[in-house]
Amino acid sequence: MRRTPLLYWLIFTGVTAFAAVLLWHFGLIQQMVVSDRTHISSLIALLYIGASLHCLWRTIIISREEDAARLAGELVAADSRFLALGKGGPSAAGELPDGLITAHIRNLATKASLQGGTRLDQTLLLRGLAGQLRGSNHFGSFASDTLMKLGLLGTIIGFIMMLAPIAGLDADNRGALKSSMTLMSDGMAVAMYTTLAGLVGSILIKIQYYMLDDATNRLFNHAVGMTEVHVVSALERQSAASK
């Protein structure tokens, strides 16, 4: 069964959104927003949404590249005219679907036509293709780390807010003691809620980008197998026949 990256992202995001709706229904999100006087947890939520949208954008790109790569592979495997060498490259390559894999096939064909029948090595071209496929996927690590650090920052600020009233605490003044306990509980709430938001947001972002990286690796492996089996062998055969 074919695994579609976009479908997996939609399923994961749907489950996450359902959980968020439940938390909102029971008032837990509202309680977090009200209790967090620093608004760090709200900032974490906004950054999480932004990172998720970036992951969606990258997932759509990889899904389109996967569809184009599979179609290009089927066409090349079924009809060798797509790799027929002419001046400057394959004469029918324009009929292949646009995409990074198709561009890689065109580069291979052009390289085969220019180097004059020697063994075709696509190592450097594959390195470039891998970098193009990954694109800005590394943003996921940055976003996950940022959410975690914001959660830790909220923890530190919360503990500072919690411990600050102790310095001037007068044990004989019951009013001041009660006020200090209130401030300490507010600081503890900030520390706990921001830590929780940072940890949960970081984990969810890591899961999303793990699925994206897995889809990218599968696409690259498909491109390597398809080009080695069908493209490189066909181009080398054509080059040997033209001698």
Torsion, CA 14, CA 16, CA 17, CA 23, rounded to 10: 150
How high is the mean pLDDT of the chain? 84
pLDDT given for residue 92 in this prediction: 45
pLDDT band of 121, cuts 50, 70, 90 = confident
Question: What CA–CA distances, in Å, run from 23 to 20, 29, 193?
Answer: 5, 6, 14
pTM listed for this prediction: 0.85
| Residues 109, 99: Cα–Cα separation, whole Å | 15
pLDDT band of 186, cuts 50, 70, 90 = confident
